[in-house]
Structure 1
Amino acid sequence: MGTFQASRGFAFIFTEAGRATLEERFPFLSEYLALVTSPTTARGLLPWRERLFGPRPERLRPNAFYVNLLLLEAGKGVGRHIDATLQEPSGVADAVPEHVSVLYLQVPPGIQGGALRLLRDNRPLGEVRPRSGLLVHFRGDLQHEVQPFTGGPEGALRASLVCEQYAFGPEALARISPFRIQSKAGFGAYLDAHRDREPSEAQKLSLNGRSSVS
């Protein structure tokens, strides 16, 4: 597992049954969730036969989710890891997401670095250069890390909204709370910092770019 000590943000855990509660509390997330949970959004991550003919009947759709607002300041990154946030609450020791979706809400102008690097067995597969409004999907069993960025305005934060999407059977799903807020301090700080600014398209969750990485 990588280190998240340099990051700040909020997090939700919810299931499909608890999604309505989340959207009632935080309605501005509805557009984002509708897009990233659509069966067609991450179709490019499926095996090629399923891309052509549709998913296998036995393939479960994601039904449990971990959403995190990740805030990074200059010089800070996220260490190499494979997402497995819902292993403990689900009781499934080897649970990893079906896929992970990342929306870059804000990328400070004039920065260098900050790429999302994807790996398998420590072998690089590719990297994503962030830009505001870009939506990226990648397989949940991939290692990944976020490189630190430098430059940009003093005190600037890079903000991204991350959704880990899991597909559990009934027994494991029943162990997960339908809706739980893990932390809201970081979210409040982010909103306070942007309350008096004219919102950018990315901050309004306008999705103007998409990419899938398998």
Structure 2
Amino acid sequence: MAGYYRRRDQALAPSELSTLGGQLLASPYLSVNNLNRDFVATRGFSIVFKQESLPVVVQRFGYLEPYLALALEADCNAFYLNALLLTQNSRVDPHIDRSLRSYCKTVDPPAAVSVLYIQVPPALEGGELVLCCGKKPVGQIRPVENTLVHFQGNLTHSVNKMRSPGRRLSLVCEQYQLSELELLSIPTFTVESRVQPVR
């Protein structure tokens, strides 16, 4: 990836974005986040899948198809997709993504992380995505609805505390390039949720 991140405005058709947001917020899996303690007062759920099981994801979650068609990198073979909902006082502390580590301890950070902003309060205060390479700040991105951001998977990143009311809804995909041995440890397809884990 040239540079630390890139962005694409007006990523989806308005109808696709509206459907995506509505379906995520109505999902029976949406609950207190299943991610680690860095995700403070956030809600969401996650989908783990390999490249070969993309048709299964689309069959189960058809509303994700426009996002997946746009965001997935052809040279990646395993994915950790999570819906991320922040409200007033939510934040995400600095971390490097490696969510597949719960299945494979040796996994490196993803090759790329892709974030689509689906809903953003019109008078948003806080909630910026902050990117750092080591301790060096390399980007601060203010969320804009229907903007897709790709950034290098080895960057430390965080989300500033959201000070305004409303919902900041995004869809985040960690995209991995795993070895054949590492792939053996990764589920072909599973949903992670505090409501009802599906294996």
TM-score (normalizing by structure 1):
0.71
Matched residue SS, 1:34: helix
Contact map agreement 1:113 1:147 (CA 8 A) in 2: yes
Asked if 1:161 is matched to 2:175, the reply is no
Pick from 32, 35, 39: which aligns with 2:70? 35
Contact map agreement 1:9 1:184 (CA 8 A) in 2: no
Pick from 82, 102, 105: which aligns with 2:115? 102
What do you get for the CA RMSD once the two structures are aligned? 1.8
Matched residue SS, 1:87: helix
Structure 2 distance, partners of 1:180, 1:88, is 13
Asked if 1:87 is matched to 2:107, the reply is no
Pick from 142, 162, 166: which aligns with 1:149? 162
Contact map agreement 2:40 2:93 (CA 8 A) in 1: no
Q: Which one has a larger percent strand, Structure 1 or Structure 2?
A: 2
Give the aligned residue type for 1:160: S
Matched residue SS, 1:90: coil
Matched residue SS, 2:39: coil
Give the aligned residue type for 1:118: L
Unaligned 5+ segments in structure 1 are 40-60, 187-214
Note the 1:1-214 alignment, pairs <5 A: 3-39=38-74, 61-93=75-107, 95-152=108-165, 156-183=166-193, 185=195
Structure 2 distance, partners of 1:65, 1:8, is 20
Using the aligned pairs only, state the percent identity.
40
Q: How far 1:110 moved relative to its partner?
A: 1.1
Instruction: Extract structure 1 runs of 4+ deviating beyond 3 A.
Output: none
Structure 2 distance, partners of 1:14, 1:31, is 17
Q: How far 1:90 moved relative to its partner?
A: 2.6
Matched residue SS, 1:136: strand
Structure 2 distance, partners of 1:2, 1:129, is 23
Q: How far 1:7 moved relative to its partner?
A: 1.1
Matched residue SS, 1:101: strand
Q: How far 1:88 moved relative to its partner?
A: 3.0
Matched residue SS, 1:29: helix
TM-score (normalizing by structure 2):
0.76
Give the aligned residue type for 1:63: N
Q: How far 1:113 moved relative to its partner?
A: 1.7
Structure 1 distance, partners of 2:79, 2:42, is 20
Q: How far 1:151 moved relative to its partner?
A: 2.4
Contact map agreement 1:36 1:101 (CA 8 A) in 2: yes
Give the aligned residue type for 1:138: F
Give the aligned residue type for 1:12: I
Q: How far 1:91 moved relative to its partner?
A: 3.6
Task: Give the structure with higher Rg (CA).
Answer: 1
1:185–1:133: structure 2 CA closer, same or farther, 3 Å change rule?
farther
Structure 1 distance, partners of 2:73, 2:76, is 10
Q: How far 1:149 moved relative to its partner?
A: 2.0
